[in-house]
Structure 1
């Protein structure tokens, strides 16, 4: 009798949870509420049935660490919701590959994201922020609202493509943002079973196909342009094009699109939520304004300023706590395990929610409050409690780049303008692939000295 047969024959200890299959349409409509209600009714480790899967949800850092790091070899991304959603778009890139193949891809990309390397791109980051501010001048003068989330998507796209891929595609930045929205609306509502609303899904599928075609065209254009120029510039795209790990145009397309998508979307959303929260909390905004005036004294920000831009950095960190761009991480058990005193059968889908961990009242004082100064000293935070970039071996390869970019962009914006939410504009977090404002983020930009 093999290990699985032996395991199945044992009496298993299972976590508490709903008795029958969950209401999938209701869960998809409000996944954050679903997670919160599970925890409220059943505790920090729960079990439910969804689309034929047995799903465990873990809401304590020691369990997150166990699954993502300590026993990470027992858990895979294969056949998880993340895999089903992302693979049709990204192929077999760094976010979706597994095992030795993933390790080889990670090794290939890692040098481009070392702190010393990303610091070289501070000029690229600040240049992009200043161009965005210049484009805002007519709206600043007229008081017209800005779709801040889309502008930030265009900015972060321009930065990642220029810094890591050595390309300039600012002309398609806003179109890229709309395509990302269309793609996320579809894959974020992934429905593997019978569709409860075929007409709505058909429209989203049409939008998805159009968005995917646009993203694919941009990616292939980047690759073609680099082949045509044949530049020897040191960047990740050149590294990938000469790597023995890339054996076909499809492999290269998958890696480039993965880096572009992962390298801009989460940072754009982090900045969007940061600007919103600073508007809602003027006392925290005042700390940011005072800091940039004191540290920068009217000059452009550089990577050398990063250690002293503490209020800016904390403002972003706290925004990512309250509104983590990646709000759920899923893995599938490949072998038997025990977590929290409960047995995990092979094939079980195990989920860790950043949304829940980041608001757990046992670990965070006033968990729903925006208090950036809580990040003044993070040495007492338990491992794997704060996971805006994931955890374990698969922690986001671009975390240093993302934090430098977000901090310098925020500092540059704060030097020149104050952003105010359009009165009455609804701000509702929507948990798709990333956590985004469902209705966008419409804000009015005005000179700081006049407000």
Structure 2
């Protein structure tokens, strides 16, 4: 007779996936509130644990991370059809090899060398806004920032320029999110809508694939003589990649390297508009530190309010709101048995708003990041453990320099009455976009 497992508390019945997908943030919040640090529910044939305490999260992502795989997780199922077997989706030795190949381009010294690329792109964006500034015309800030971060990552990391197709790229990313983040029940109530989403996804994937192969081809023609980019390293490294491997890696870097930073900046600008005293601190800082000149990497240690404004925005609206792993072998977490194959989840949304660790957890208080060191694996905007985002330093430098550059010249105000609601798809996005008016300072 099989040994009885000790399972965490949770809902007794199978969870309705449609209800969960309609309000995922409320779902994980209620699970943690009602059942505690480790919860268990069953959905779509899976046994699912949700971990809501930092030391337990560290156990799965770091201390016993080798026992927890990304294979066959919802993350894997959503991302692999688009990204193939790149750094975000690969596992084991393959992932370790890819990480080793990519790491040099993301070292702090290499990242700081890209400060001019970042600020030039941000200044160009403001110049493009000038007619709207003069006329008070609302801007789709979320789309503009996606185009901006796409420009930055392709120039800095891949040595390419996608000026002119940023808007189309943003639309393709939106189409991908609408499809891969949309649950379709077995008895699909709207097959026509599902078919439309799948067609949009197919077109978007083809477009993104074309962009990627064009980047690779252009760099090959250029020869990458200076060997200055990550793409050069991938093309000329000691372990040559196949065409498919190159495509997967480059597309992964483009997608991961621009989407999350764009969302972090979008939420930062929204929160600063809603908290004018915090915006005043940012504006005073850039005026005092920079004196009207363009920021550089050397200014980063003194742009403390800019950095904290971004960090706090990523706490309240973490770009990646859920991390999933699949248990390879049996384990025990906080006294509860974990059977092989169990899906183990961590929600940054829940951890970042836990009142045990954050005073006034729903409030925007950037100054909290001047406080004492937080418990390991409590604040996870870039994930945790060995698989922590390889580009985290680049992303934070980029966000701070972009914010400082924008704050020198404009103040952004949400269009009166515009609805702002987080939508938890692959990333945490403003469901209706973010329409704002740029005012000259």
Regarding TM over 0.5, the answer is yes
Q: Which residue of 2 aligns with 1:312?
A: 306
Contact 1:45–1:57 (CA<8 Å) still a contact in 2?
yes
Q: Does 1:285 align with 2:283?
A: no
- Root-mean-square deviation (Å): 1.1
Contact 2:420–2:432 (CA<8 Å) still a contact in 1?
yes
Deviation per CA, 1:50-79: give whole Å up to 9, x if none. 110000001110111000000001000000
Q: Which residue of 1 aligns with 2:427?
A: 434
Deviation per CA, 1:229-259: give whole Å up to 9, x if none. 2131311001101234443111000000000
Match of 1:341 among 316, 335, 352: 335
Deviation per CA, 1:183-239: give whole Å up to 9, x if none. 011111244855343222212111111111111111111011111221313110011
Q: How many correspondences in the alignment?
A: 440
CA gap of 1:194–1:112, structure 2 versus 1, over 3 A, is farther
Match of 2:138 among 145, 161, 167: 145
TM-score of the superposed pair, with normalisation by structure 2: 0.98
- Stretches of structure 2 lacking an aligned partner (at least 5 in a row): none
Match of 2:262 among 263, 268, 277: 268
Q: Which residue of 1 aligns with 2:3?
A: 10
Contact 2:234–2:241 (CA<8 Å) still a contact in 1?
no
Shift of 1:150: 0.4
Q: Does 1:356 align with 2:343?
A: no
Shift of 1:308: 0.6
Match of 1:371 among 355, 365, 374: 365
Residue aligned with 2:383, SS = coil
Q: Does 1:299 align with 2:293?
A: yes
Residue aligned with 2:49, SS = strand
Q: Which residue of 2 aligns with 1:4?
A: none
Deviation per CA, 1:343-382: give whole Å up to 9, x if none. 1000000000000000001000000000000001342x00
How far apart, in 2, do the equivalents of 1:216 and 1:378 lie?
45
Residue aligned with 2:200, SS = helix
Q: Does 1:201 align with 2:194?
A: yes
Q: Does 1:162 align with 2:155?
A: yes
How far apart, in 2, do the equivalents of 1:343 and 1:364 lie?
29
Q: Which residue of 2 aligns with 1:393?
A: 386
Contact 1:105–1:245 (CA<8 Å) still a contact in 2?
no
Contact 1:179–1:214 (CA<8 Å) still a contact in 2?
yes
Match of 1:227 among 220, 229, 233: 220
Contact 1:246–1:252 (CA<8 Å) still a contact in 2?
no
Residue aligned with 1:170, SS = coil
Contact 1:329–1:353 (CA<8 Å) still a contact in 2?
yes
Contact 2:70–2:326 (CA<8 Å) still a contact in 1?
yes
Contact 1:83–1:96 (CA<8 Å) still a contact in 2?
yes
After the TM superposition, which of the residue ranges 238-247 and 163-172 deviates more from structure 2?
238-247
Contact 2:235–2:241 (CA<8 Å) still a contact in 1?
no
How far apart, in 2, do the equivalents of 1:411 and 1:352 lie?
32
How far apart, in 2, do the equivalents of 1:411 and 1:188 lie?
33
Residue aligned with 1:21, SS = coil
- Stretches of structure 1 lacking an aligned partner (at least 5 in a row): 1-7
Deviation per CA, 1:1-45: give whole Å up to 9, x if none. xxxxxxx92221101111111111111111001111112221221
Q: Which residue of 1 aligns with 2:23?
A: 30
Residue aligned with 2:113, SS = helix
